[in-house]
Amino acid sequence: MPLILSIIFIITAILFVVYGIYATKSGAPFWPTGRKKVKQMIQLAELTKDDVVMDLGSGDGRIVRAAAPYVTRAIGIEINPVLHYWALFLRLCSPYKKQMIFEQTNLWKTDLSEIDVLFLFFMPDKMEKLHQKIKKEMKPGSRIVSNIFQFPGWSIVKKHDMIYVYQLS
Ligand SMILES: C[S@@+](CC[C@H](N)C(=O)[O-])C[C@H]1O[C@@H](n2cnc3c(N)ncnc32)[C@H](O)[C@@H]1O
């Protein structure tokens, strides 16, 4: 039994590291948003019951769990399978599990056309590429709440404690 547990632990650790390296190159490393900041991001988003929201690179799913009580659907997109399954496990403990969806996929292949509010915490060198994707796919009026990093040349509609809110015209 301890041998099986050791093997599971080693495989999980290898997956976490390998996908962590890939995630760092393709978007951002796993660096979770602090609890206080998660609350601030949710408040700044001014969520409504009609909203479909997405956290692009959802990590352990904390933003999705925090948003779920206020919206129709909260979706988490995460490439790292270890974080994805951990988020699915934590979802089981939530009374709002019906509102929550987690997908293990690459965010660059994710369609954003149905999303009303997009949360993100990305590296600065990916912000321009992401801005192009948002402009191409998201509908007018949708909001984007970015933790720490700004979109170059895009007007901010609200800002608090290095959280930046944008709206598509
Ligand atoms: C800075 S963390 C933010 C986690 C979470 N949103 C939060 O605020 O706590 C960025 C997350 O994006 C994920 N990520 C990076 N590149 C990705 C990609 N191409 N597709 C999906 N997820 C990605 C990482 O694995 C990591 O969990």
The per-residue pLDDT for 2 is 85
Q: Are 109 and 79 in contact (CB under 8 A)?
A: no
The per-residue pLDDT for 1 is 67
Among 37, 75, 78, 111, which is best to mutate for testing ligand 1, by the most ligand atoms less than 8 A from CB? 78
Given 3.30.930.10, 3.30.1280.10, 3.40.50.150, 3.30.1330.60, which CATH number is that of 2-167?
A: 3.40.50.150
Arithmetic mean of pLDDT, 106-111:
97
Cα separations in angstroms, 40 against 10, 45, 117, 145: 36, 9, 15, 10
The domain segmentation of the chain, as residue ranges, is 2-167
Q: What's the predicted TM-score (pTM) here? A: 0.95
CA angle 88, 26, 139 (to 5 degrees): 75
As for ligand 1, residues whose beta carbon falls within 6 Å of it are 23, 26-28, 30-33, 55, 57-59, 62-63, 77-80, 83, 106-108, 121
Q: Name residue 70's beta-bridge partners.
A: none
Q: Which atom of ligand 1 is nearest to the CA of 122?
A: 1
> pLDDT tens digits, residue range 90-107?
999 999 999 999 999 999
> pLDDT tens digits, residue range 26-84?
989 999 999 999 999 999 999 999 999 999 999 999 999 999 999 999 999 999 999 99
The per-residue pLDDT for 92 is 96
Q: Are 93 and 70 in contact (CB under 8 A)?
A: no
Provide the pLDDT confidence category of residue 131 given band limits of 50, 70 and 90. very high
CA 136, 66, 23, 89 torsion-angle sign: negative
> pLDDT tens digits, residue range 142-163?
999 999 999 999 999 999 999 9
Among 35, 103, 107, which is best to mutate for testing ligand 1, by the most ligand atoms less than 8 A from CB? 107
Question: DSSP string covering the chain, please?
Answer: -HHHHHHHHHHHHHHHHHHHHHHHHHT----PPPHHHHHHHHHHHT--TT-EEEEES-TTSHHHHHHGGGSSEEEEEES-HHHHHHHHHHHHT-TTGGGEEEEES-GGG---TT-SEEEE---GGGHHHHHHHHHHHSPTT-EEEEESPPPTT---SEEETTEEEEE--
Residues present in the chain in total: 169
